[in-house]
Structure formats: structure tokens, C-alpha cells
Structure 1
Amino acid sequence: MNLFNQSILAVGVAALVSGCSSFQHRNQMSSFNTAYSTGDYESALAAVSFETSEDEAVDTEGHLLELLHQGELYRLTGQYQQAADTFDLAEEGMKYLDTEGVVEEAAEGFMAVMVNDSERDYEALMSEAVLVNTYKGLAFLAAGNNEYARIEFNRANDRTRRAVEYFQKEIAAQQATLEEQAEDEESNASLVNNSLNNEDLHTAIAENYGAPSSWSVFPEFIVPSATYLHGLYFLANASSGADYERAATSLKRVAEMNPDSSILKADAELATGLSNGSVSRSALGAQVWIVYENGLGPVLEESRFDVPLLLFHGNQQAPAYFGLALPKYSDRQAVPGTIGVVGDAGESIETEQISDMGTVIRTEMKERFPGVLARAVTSAVIKAVLQNEASEQFGIVGQLGAAALTVATTQADLRGWQAMPDHWQAARLDRPESGTLTLLDHQGSVLGNLDLPDRPFTLVYVKRPTTLAPATVITMDLQGKSEATFARFPEVTEQTQVSSAQ
């Protein structure tokens, strides 16, 4: 069997595999989202579970996406150690963010260009990796394990610091490989390189997909909620001026990303005051922060359109139009409004938005887009060349068959961690002398009442994906000296369960 026939066979077999895996993923995520959006976390967990033999190690790269979902579901059901253990496995599956075997990378790269990106093991975004460390930090904090919580908040901060360098190296490595292969002017790599530099290609992308330069993004990579929690943690656990400085640096950085936020400005000023000595910790009084994780985060949709690729016809290069499929983020719903917090004085303090997930992801996607586009164009060029060769060798039958395979395998990779929120909100207040807080929902109705621990620094962490789901409320000692209390508001009573079942 010659190389061309082998290529056609490989694409044909891969098309069947791709179709099956894409269908399975869509079905799995549909089941997950149906359960997750109503707060049925047990059913959501079942949707993303997989079987592994007792004597078999977990394939952390192959099951990374399931592990990410599982870890957050364990956290939202108060199973903090299980959440940390599962996120540990997920982090093991993200080692490619530091290094990856050349052979494995080459094999996955072949499948990506011969079929599409969904044939690679899922590769988490750097922002997802930052959140893994942040969620692990919160899980350890809720379990009263302050030592491990400190490690995870530091890891989240370190990942943020190293992200830009990682993006630059990733893009540089892809470009170097392409340029090396393109030295042969008649190679597919040369066609890809010329197509990527073709102004008509970028015009078509801008018209059909949107120019990355026009996206609303942060001026630098940051996951503000993670950096904010890093700052709060070190403000509460400072044992030296260096720790206060660390808290001030993080909180000031987040405040600079959202200059309209009064809560971010006040927290940055508090950390700065503690750092330079203008604010006395002993005179500060017990503080309570409410952090509200709200809504459903962005999901990927496919943007499919024709683009001009430069192909050889005889000894000449000429433009030919072929389909390109690119992933594009689309926002989902958020719970409207804010959370109200009522203390002893009876006055309601409202949370305010401090960051959204969409801007975070688009900031990263803008950095990664050259690599996504290069793989998509490489795939399109190779399939276009195969179509031409099929037409020359087998006539109209070969051309139609190759075209059908091309259509079947031209798909964008739409996988992603769908337990992330639309945005975060926050508020801060002095701890009420009674030790009791009342939480109000977006309509001003009572969500529930909280008994606060008598601690210098308390974090009330609230997560609610939709109005159909109850709010998960985890009340933590920010110094990690005691275990958290767990609640779901509004509380589900036996009467509610009977009514909902009817």
C-alpha cells in the first residue's frame, strides 16, 4: 500500500473514531450540565465518572477533563479530601504545561492535523490549572489544613507568574518546527507557512470569526479571583512584613485590573496599610469576606467557514478555498443580581463583581490562538492535498470520497471544564457581635442564616450555578485553624422534595 493510500486509510479510520468520541463527549457534557445546573451534584458526578481497575493507575491525561469536573463536584458536596485527591490527579495530567514526551507529542500532533484537535488528549488551559490550585487551596482550608492550603495558593500564584513565559515558548516551538519543515519549498509545511502569512486568510478569519486583536482581554494574563484569594490568604496568615507585602502585591494587582471596584480598592488599601504599618492589625477587628462564585462559565462553539489556502498547481501556487473549523467561546447564563449580607445593624451590604471568567479565558485564547490556527490550517492543507491526489488517481469517485472525509473530520475541539463560573463577586464587613449573618438572594429574599466562627478572619464562600440550583455555602476560617461549616441555601426540606417530585 503506497503512502497516499495509507494516508487516506488513516484519515478514514480516524474519522470514525473522531465521530464516536465527539458524540460521546457531547452526550457526557449534556448529562453533566442537565444535572449540574439544577444542583443535582450526585447525578452530575455519575455523568463524569469512569471505571479503573484497582491494580491499574488512573490515566490522568486521558481522563483529565473528567477529573476536573469530579474534583469540583467533590468540593461542592463537602468532600474536601476527595476533592484535593482528585485535583491532584488532574494536576498530574497537566504535566504537559511543564514538559511532554517528544514521541507522545509527535503522535498527538499527527492525529490533530490528520483529523482535528479533539483527537488529542484534552489539554487544560493555564487558567484552568490556576483554578485547580486555587480550589485545592480552598479545599484544604475548609478541611482545616492550613499548611497545604498555603502551598496551593502559592502554586496558583506561581502558575500565573509563569503563564506568559509558557505561552511564548509554546508559540516559538511551533513556529520553529514549521519553519524547519518549510525549508523544502514543495513540502506541506511550506504550503502551511505561506497560507498562514496570506493576507486573504486573515481577512477571512476577521470577517467570519473575529480578529483576536479586537477581543476584550486583560492587558496581561491573570485569573483575578485566584490572585484575590491568594492576597486574602496571606493578609490573614501574615507572620512577617514579607507576607503582608505579598498580600498587598496580589490585591493591588487585582484592583488595577478592575479600577471601578470599591471592594478591591478597599482590600488593596487595607493590605498596603498593614504592610507599611499605617494600619494596626490589633485595632482592625474581626473581618468577614463573602466571595460569590456565580453562574455558568463560557463554553466553546464551532465557527466554520471557508478560507483561501495556497496550494501547488503544477509549478505554481494558487489560492483554493477549503473549510476551516475554529473554537470560539460563547457566554452562558449567570444568576442575576448580587447577594445581600445582613448583620446586626439590619443594613444589607451587597456583593459586587470583581472578575469574570470570559475575559480570563479570552486573554489566554488570544495568546494561544496562533497555535490553534496553525494546527487548523495544517490540517486543512494536508486534507486539501489528499483531495487533489485522490482526484488525480481515482477521478470523481476519489475526489468525492476524500471530500466527504474532509467534511467529516473538519471539526473544532469544543472540550472544556464546564464547572467554572460566569463571574465572581465579593464583599467585606466587620464580624457582627452576635456572630450571625443573613444571606439574601438576588430578589432580596432570605437565602439562609449563618453562624460565624469567632475568628479574626472568616471567608464565606458561596457558589451557585443557576437559580434552579441551591447555593453551596462554605464558611471557612481563613487561618485554617478549624474545619469549615457547610450549608446549602435555600435548605431543601422534605416538603420541597415531595413537591418537586410531583
Structure 2
Amino acid sequence: MKLKLVSGLVSMVMLSGCTSMMQKDDFESFNNKLNTGDYNGAAEVALDHAGYDEESGETDDLLWTLQAGATLNYVGQYDLSTKLLDSTEHMMKSEDTEGTVAESAELVGSMIGNDAMLDYEQAHYDGVMSNTIKAWNFISQNDYQNARVELNRAEERQRRAAKHFADVIKERRAEIKEEAGESGALVKQSMESDETKKILADAGIEQGQWKPYEGYVNPFTTYSYGLNLLLTGKSKSDFQKAADSFKRVYSLTDSKAAKADYELARSMARSNNQDKLANKVWVIFENGQSTVREEKRIDLPVFILSDNVSYTGIAIPRLKERGKALNNITIEGNDTETIADMDKIIGAEFDQDFPYILAREITRVTLKTIAQKQVKDENALLGDAFALVQMLTTGADIRSFSALPSEYQATRIDAKNNTVEIKAGAFTIPVELDADSSKHIIYVKAISPVIEPTIKVVNI
């Protein structure tokens, strides 16, 4: 019996420990490619981690399918990007509708190991960005109707944001209460301890430092919705919807670019004069790399009895900013400016999640510490083995949609000829515009100040 118990403990150590290490290695291999601007290489890594089968076109990992879809967009493989991002919709729906029994069994298993063992649970912005990236795939292929469909879906996700977060909070509170069981009061005592708050603050983890955009809106999605309507609209109604979108972005960000586009769209809604759009060039700038999660190990007070405290090591995720590549870029003397801060969006959602991440980890370590003490009282050798298991299974879940930029910027100019010049840090890049087209979008992506940005042009 003792041998079976030790064998089971060893298996759990190997599973949870290997899961955490593999996740770190996977992200390191992917991010190393992105850091050097090797988007093709990053896409290959993401496809591999997603379990992509070339024959069937299927994948089996939600997060890495998202990563692959985003990086394939960067290299112009729009059809495959869209196909993969379509499949993430089904995966997200499957995760959202997973049965209570299956969820409970998965959570119980993670209580023995760590959160890295759980299936990846998509962030709200994952779904919004999946639809938004698909829309830009279609825009890049001059398929504006399907772009409109995807942006409608993304905007609908955003309209449901408040209910989504309310449902998630309710569900997680119930999960924590169920898993803590009779130890719930001890977990609450650890969570509310002044010492816990001080230790977290000293580790650079403070609640409430990220504030969401009102309504948890992603302004880049709303801006994209408005821009697609402005450039391809046929009726005054289309242009009014575009104006409403730009107005929303301006109210959220105070962006002069959004305000200028609002005024143009409002003018179009009054007159429907297509000449007002002639020779207009929009620049969209994906700047830098988004905030990601990293593991932080700390010792927190864990209450075994109401007056018996033990300082025990836990591992939790905290946010790490990777930052902008450039302050802005310039086209014909006009600077781009921020229309959406992805770091703000990611950070605000993490702030919502963190209390439950921390509660799960404290619940986990409390249950393990109590169990270790009980086992050690019966058998010192097994107690020591359990302590080793507790140490080796401690690990944080660092998974996130890391292919995203730190922020999106935009500006608009009137083209005087068919060549415009973009200045991006140390790089000056001439861009050719199609003489037969009257409207243009220049899409710029910069990952680092020392790597030349990639540029794509949509001629309309």
C-alpha cells in the first residue's frame, strides 16, 4: 500500500512538474522567434505546439492555434490563418460548455498538482482578437463583406462582456468554496492576512493597478469595425455606424486620429459623397509585444489551524511588460497615435482573474500542508516524501496569447502621389500605392526598435 502511494506521488510530480517546464520551454521557443522578427519561424513553432495535422488541417490545442493564427496573419498566409482561427471558435465553445462533472474532475486533479495542468481557459480578449484578426485577413484579401461579419461577431462579444465577467466571477467563487471545503475559513484567513498583502506588494503584485476601458471594450476592434464601414459603406446608415464606432473609440482613448475619422464618417453620413474619401491613406501600426505572464515564487502564511501559521512556498503568475518597439511612426510628417492599449486590456482582465488564481493556490497549498502533516504524524518517511511532492508540484500557469502587440496606433493622410514615406525609428521605408485605387490602408508591424518593420498595403 505504501509503495503504491509513493508510486502515485512520483507520477503526480512527473506530470505536474513536466507540464510547467514544457509550457515554459514552448513559450521560450516561440518568443525567441518573434523577438528576432522571424514570423515564419514563430508560425512553425506555434503550428507544432498546436498539433497541426497538414492532411486534416486540424489542431488540438486552443492557445497555440490562436498563436498560429496570429503569426500566419503577419506573414500573409491569410487562408490558413482564418481556417485555424475558425477552429478556435469551436474550441472556445467546447470549453465554455464543458460539463460541471468534467470541470470539477479537472479542478480536483489540479489541486494535487498546479494550474498548469488545467485545460487552457481563454481570456475574453482572446475571442475578440480572434474575430478581429480574421477580419483583417479578409480586409487584406479585399473581402470586406466577410470582414464585416467577423467584426460584427467581435462587437457582439464585446457587448456581452459585462455578463461574461459576472458569470465567470460567480462560477469561480463556487469552485473555490467547493474545493476549500472545511478549510475555507483557513484559506480566507490567509487571503485576508496583512502579511499576505505585504508579501504580494513586495513581489510586485498589486490589485487594481490596471483599469479596463469602459465596458471592457477593445478599442482596436471597434476602430476596425468603423474603418471597414467607412471605406466600403454604400449607404448613409453604414457611415453613421462608422461614425458611432469612431466616436466610441475617441471617448475611450481621447485619440485625435479617432476624432478625425469620426468627423469624416459623420460628414459621409450626411452627404454620402465618395469624393471625400479619395486619395485617403490610413496607417495602422502594431507596436511592440504584449504583456505576458511570468512565474513568481513567494512564501505566504498558510493557516493550518486558526492560530497555527506556517510559511509555505507557492508559485503564482504576475504580469511582465515587454513594451513598445517605438513611441510612434511617421508618414509624410504625420505621427501615429494610440487607439488601443493591449497591455491595459490584458492587465485589466488579469486583475479580474488574480484573486481566484491566488485563492486556488492558497487552497491547494493549505490542503497539501494539512495532508502532509497528517501523513507525517503516521509515517515520517511518507511525510517527507509528501513534502517533496508539494515542493516539486508547485508551479504557475504562465499561458497567454503572447503573439499580440503592446498597442495599436493609427493616423490618416491625403496622398499627393503614389509613393509615401514611412519613418519608423532608424528606418525610412518608401511605400508604393496602387495608382488605380483611390483609398489605401498601410499596415505596419514593429516588434523591436532594431528590426525593420513589416509593411502590408491594402488598395481599395
Q: Which moved more, 1:154-163 or 1:462-471?
A: 462-471
Aligned to 2:329: 339
Aligned to 1:39: 37
Aligned to 1:380: 365
In structure 2, the CA distance between the partners of 1:230 and 1:283, relative to structure 1 (3 Å rule), is closer
For 1:161 and 1:291, how far apart are their aligned partners in 2? 24
Q: CA-atom RMSD, angstroms?
A: 2.8
Matches of residues 93-492 of structure 1 in structure 2 within 5 Å?
A: 93-95=91-93, 98-179=96-177, 187-198=182-193, 200-259=195-254, 261-275=255-269, 277=270, 280-312=273-305, 318-342=308-332, 348-395=333-380, 397-432=381-416, 434-443=417-426, 445-452=427-434, 454-477=436-459
For 2:42 and 2:347, how far apart are their aligned partners in 1? 27
Higher helix share goes to which structure?
2
Deviations 1:298-338 (A, max 9, x none): 121122222223323xxx55333222322111111432243
Deviations 1:229-257 (A, max 9, x none): 11211222334444333322322222122
Unaligned runs of 5+ in 2: none
Aligned to 2:85: 87
Q: By how many angstroms is 1:215 displaced?
A: 3.3
Aligned to 1:490: none
Assess if the C-alpha contact under 8 Å between 1:387 and 1:403 holds in 2: yes
Q: Which moved more, 1:245-254 or 1:374-383?
A: 245-254
In structure 2, the CA distance between the partners of 1:100 and 1:239, relative to structure 1 (3 Å rule), is farther
Q: Which amino acid aligns with 2:314?
A: L
Aligned to 2:46: 48
In structure 2, the CA distance between the partners of 1:31 and 1:179, relative to structure 1 (3 Å rule), is closer
Deviations 1:434-471 (A, max 9, x none): 3322222213x422322235445422111121244442
Q: By how many angstroms is 1:40 displaced?
A: 2.2
Q: By how many angstroms is 1:262 displaced?
A: 1.8
Assess if the C-alpha contact under 8 Å between 1:141 and 1:477 holds in 2: no
SS at 1:421 equivalent: coil
Assess if the C-alpha contact under 8 Å between 2:69 and 2:84 holds in 1: yes
Deviations 1:396-432 (A, max 9, x none): x334322222121221111222211122221101233
For 2:412 and 2:55, how far apart are their aligned partners in 1? 48
For 1:210 and 1:21, how far apart are their aligned partners in 2? 24
For 1:96 and 1:166, how far apart are their aligned partners in 2? 16
In structure 2, the CA distance between the partners of 1:107 and 1:165, relative to structure 1 (3 Å rule), is same
For 1:149 and 1:254, how far apart are their aligned partners in 2? 19
Deviations 1:257-287 (A, max 9, x none): 222x321222233334444x27855445342
For 1:253 and 1:12, how far apart are their aligned partners in 2? 55
SS at 1:118 equivalent: helix
Q: Which amino acid aligns with 1:463?
A: K
Q: Which amino acid aligns with 2:433?
A: D
Assess if the C-alpha contact under 8 Å between 1:264 and 1:354 holds in 2: yes
Q: Which amino acid aligns with 1:88?
A: D
Q: Which moved more, 1:331-340 or 1:361-370?
A: 331-340
Unaligned runs of 5+ in 1: 343-347, 479-502
For 2:428 and 2:176, how far apart are their aligned partners in 1? 59
Q: Which amino acid aligns with 2:420?
A: L
SS at 2:160 equivalent: helix
For 2:242 and 2:7, how far apart are their aligned partners in 1? 57
SS at 1:49 equivalent: helix
Q: By how many angstroms is 1:115 displaced?
A: 1.2
For 2:102 and 2:442, how far apart are their aligned partners in 1? 43
Assess if the C-alpha contact under 8 Å between 2:43 and 2:71 holds in 1: yes
Assess if the C-alpha contact under 8 Å between 1:340 and 1:349 holds in 2: yes
For 2:128 and 2:455, how far apart are their aligned partners in 1? 22
Q: Which amino acid aligns with 1:244?
A: F
In structure 2, the CA distance between the partners of 1:23 and 1:82, relative to structure 1 (3 Å rule), is same
Using the size of structure 2 for normalisation, the TM-score is: 0.90
In structure 2, the CA distance between the partners of 1:368 and 1:245, relative to structure 1 (3 Å rule), is farther
Percent identity between matched residues is 30
Q: Which amino acid aligns with 2:336?
A: T
Q: Which amino acid aligns with 1:405?
A: V
For 2:361 and 2:57, how far apart are their aligned partners in 1? 33
SS at 1:212 equivalent: coil
Q: Which amino acid aligns with 1:262?
A: K
In structure 2, the CA distance between the partners of 1:84 and 1:18, relative to structure 1 (3 Å rule), is same
For 1:120 and 1:180, how far apart are their aligned partners in 2? 17
In structure 2, the CA distance between the partners of 1:81 and 1:380, relative to structure 1 (3 Å rule), is same
In structure 2, the CA distance between the partners of 1:338 and 1:199, relative to structure 1 (3 Å rule), is closer
Deviations 1:320-367 (A, max 9, x none): 32223221111114322432213xxxxx22222333221110111112
Assess if the C-alpha contact under 8 Å between 1:81 and 1:143 holds in 2: no
In structure 2, the CA distance between the partners of 1:337 and 1:153, relative to structure 1 (3 Å rule), is same
SS at 1:93 equivalent: helix
Aligned to 2:18: 20
Q: By how many angstroms is 1:136 displaced?
A: 0.5
In structure 2, the CA distance between the partners of 1:287 and 1:10, relative to structure 1 (3 Å rule), is farther
For 1:363 and 1:464, how far apart are their aligned partners in 2? 24
For 1:107 and 1:424, how far apart are their aligned partners in 2? 40
Using the size of structure 1 for normalisation, the TM-score is: 0.83
For 1:57 and 1:309, how far apart are their aligned partners in 2? 48
In structure 2, the CA distance between the partners of 1:431 and 1:98, relative to structure 1 (3 Å rule), is farther
Q: Which amino acid aligns with 1:324?
A: I
